[in-house]
Amino acid sequence: MTEAPETVPQRYPFSDPDRLNLDPWYARLRRDEPLTRIRMPFGEPAWLATRHADVRTVLGDSRFSRAASVDRDEPRNSPRRQEGGILSMDPPEHTRLRRLVAKAFTARRVEELRPRTRQVADELVDGMLAAGPPADLVAHLATPLPIRVICDLLGVPVADQDRFHTWSEAIVSTTSLSPEQAQEYIDNLFAYMGELIARRREQPTDDLLGAMVRARDADDRLAADEVVRLAAGLLAAGHETTVTQIPNFVYALLTHPDEWDRLRARPDLVPSAVEELMRFVPLGASSAFARYALEDVELGGVLVRAGEPVVVSISSANRDGTVFAEPDRLDLTRQANPHLGFGHGVHHCIGAQLARMELQVVLETLITRTPGLRLAVPESELTWKSGLLVRGLLAMPVSW
């Protein structure tokens, strides 16, 4: 272990997102400088962890705290600081809130949702086929499917999807919205969820919102605003990333035609394909949600001092050649795949099983219903999102 020399932090992110390509700078850092000093557009300087082992440590070791970020100038990509909530908590407060919704996302509960999800996917593909090529996969399938599923689970009216899908952009925005507009969207989302929760008190229901209201009324330790924030976060996070990952996955497959052909020939590979695509696709446009060292910690051969923030690159960790053979190759038959695509530790994505199921259903449906799927425009004409925490396509014209 060495005392880190004083260095000028590098500007981070190192470059603007380029489709689903991972900046080659990460490979150099993993090899030569796995823990490096960076400065993000806003907030204090930080350490960046790039190796799989170090990323797992930061995400899973209680010596690194999210709650400590609340009173600090957290390194971030947006001028606006995200308000608290479950993502800014440590156990036991984090555990108290997470326990409220954990039962809704068990493997058993998610499997109960699979037949309905398949039905929704078929209905949406029916509409896409009826519209005829070229059709936008984002509008016809990728956006409405996760929204319908999370609405069914929470008990949110699907008729309101345009409103809350628009407001949810504030959760993943870095610069796509002005700070004032982002705050307005957040306020609208919270107000909307507050109205739905108030309605559940008057007319109890068996959905997740109803269960959260009952838990709140039976447990005075749970503040009313905590229920609203948690419900709003579940609604936004429960569809936003999957909406983005569906076209990302399809794009990755169509630009690796051998793997697409392999999947069509072997539908049994769908579960491992989802895991491999979670590893291979760098969803994050940058890193976020710094952890603060609560004591001196040796990490990557460097001493991280108590009080210093560390951000992690999950995308880089998922390309670590000491963990994954041929890490830059998309291989749907990969067996050992301890990817960190859903995070790790206490903040591991609570909806991971739900997202897995939705992504599996989408791939199964597409290889069955549209085996000749292909891009309807040259790849260079595709338009990518910008100013968000995630990278993805604005639209994806396809033919079949």
CA distances, 360 to each of 200, 276, 281, 282 (Å):
32, 12, 15, 18
Q: Which has the minimum average pLDDT: 51-60, 183-192, 249-258, 313-322?
A: 183-192
Q: At 71, list the tokens.
A: 């009173």
Give the sheet arrangement for strand 291-293, strand by strand: 10-11, 35-39, 46-49, 309-312, 291-293, 64-65
Task: Please give the backbone phi and psi of residue 2, each rounded to the nearest 5 degrees, phi first.
Answer: -125, 150
- Which of residues 313 and 159 earns the better pLDDT score? 313
d(CA 297, CA 280) in angstroms, rounded, equals: 30
Please report, as a single letter, which amino acid is at residue 225.
Answer: D
pLDDT, tens digit (0-9, with 9 covering 90-100), for 80-92: 776 668 889 999 9
* Domains located in the chain, CATH noted: 10-385 (1.10.630.10)
CA distances, 264 to each of 29, 132, 318, 371 (Å):
37, 21, 25, 7
What is the mean pLDDT of the segment spanning 72-76?
94
d(CA 159, CA 21) in angstroms, rounded, equals: 36
CA distances, 248 to each of 16, 128, 245 (Å):
17, 18, 5
Cβ pair 309, 72 in contact under 8 A: yes
For strand 64-65 and strand 135-136, is the pairing parallel, antiparallel, or unpaired?
Answer: unpaired
CA-wise closest residue to 164 among 196, 205, 124, 140: 196
3-state secondary structure of 202: helix
pLDDT, tens digit (0-9, with 9 covering 90-100), for 341-386: 999 999 999 889 999 999 999 999 999 999 999 999 999 999 998 8
